């Protein structure tokens, strides 16, 4: 088993090439991670969070996590001793235009400590106002549910019903439906939609066309994909691809 590193929750900018990763590690401090360019995922034992340009991810101190970049990614990280959000689990936060500029400025080199302190105070105020928006794909624990989810990881466009998938993993639709709520905290259709959205963000970051992504992720039409994507992330997949 690879060693899980302990490191300081530093503040700064780290370029990560497409497909690059930062292995499992943890910090004493809390951390905000933000992809100023590209798409970033943060994964823990509980699941994965994904961050397009209008999301940041809150990682509480002590949380073992790893990062993966999709598309060339500029990773902006901010270490925090305070917990302005009063959250003890990772969460995706909406990044307003003001908060984005604060993150980009605060993580850049700065010579004036007083200016840095003022920016930090405003940053904390803006974080307190940030709205949480789920970009979370939980990891199943039950082996039957894990087997079902693995089928869809391999092919998000698989449109079989829960009952049809259940025949392949040896569990009834009723059992799997109950497990989804108990193990994943959401219904099966909700989980499948989250999986498809996560996959879509990764494919868009890799340069795939919107139409191609809609097809590969299982949407019935490009317009249905665009509508779901806009409702989830607040902008069109074309804007995300750009």
Over residues 75-101, mean pLDDT: 92
Residue 68 has pLDDT above 90, yes or no: yes
pLDDT tens, position by position, 94-104 = 999 999 999 99
- Predicted local distance difference test score (pLDDT) of residue 1: 43
pLDDT tens, position by position, 48-65 = 999 888 899 999 999 999
Residue 2 has pLDDT above 60, yes or no: no
- Domains 5-136 and 140-241 agree in fold: no
Rounded mean pLDDT of the chain? Answer: 92
Spatial contact of 48 and 180, defined as CB atoms under 8 Å apart: no
Q: Which CATH superfamily is domain 140-241 in?
A: Homeodomain-like (1.10.10.60)
Residues 6+ apart with CB under 8 A from 74: 13, 14, 15, 16, 35, 36, 37, 38
Helix (H, G, I), strand (E, B) or coil at 14: strand
Q: Give the confidence band of 5 by pLDDT, cuts at 50, 70, 90.
A: confident
Helix (H, G, I), strand (E, B) or coil at 179: helix
CATH number of 5-136: 2.60.120.280
Spans of all domains in the chain: 5-136, 140-241
């Amino acid at each position: 088993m690879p060693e899980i590193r302990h490191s300081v929750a530093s503040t700064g900018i780290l370029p990560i090439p497409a497909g690059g990763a930062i292995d499992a590690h943890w910090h004493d401090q809390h951390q905000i991670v933000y992809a100023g360019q590209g798409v970033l995922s943060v994964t823990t034992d509980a699941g994965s969070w994904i961050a397009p340009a209008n999301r940041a991810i809150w990682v509480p101190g002590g949380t073992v996590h790893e990062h993966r970049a999709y598309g060339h990614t500029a990773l902006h990280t901010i270490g925090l001793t305070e917990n302005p959000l009063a959250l003890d689990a990772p969460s995706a936060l909406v990044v307003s235009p003001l908060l984005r500029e604060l993150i980009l400025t605060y993580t850049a080199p700065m010579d004036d400590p007083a200016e840095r302190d003022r920016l930090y105070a405003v940053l904390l105020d803006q974080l307190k106002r940030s709205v949480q928006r789920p970009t979370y794909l939980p990891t199943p624990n039950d082996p039957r549910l894990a087997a079902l989810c693995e089928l869809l990881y391999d092919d998000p466009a698989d449109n079989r019903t829960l009952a049809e998938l259940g025949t392949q993993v040896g569990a009834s639709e009723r059992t799997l439906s109950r497990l989804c709520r108990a193990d994943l905290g959401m219904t099966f259709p909700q989980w499948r939609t989250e999986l498809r959205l996560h996959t879509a963000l990764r494919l868009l970051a890799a340069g795939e066309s919107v139409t191609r992504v809609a097809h590969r992720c299982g949407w019935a039409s490009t317009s249905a994909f665009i509508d779901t994507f806009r409702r989830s992330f607040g902008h069109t997949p074309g804007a995300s691809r750009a």
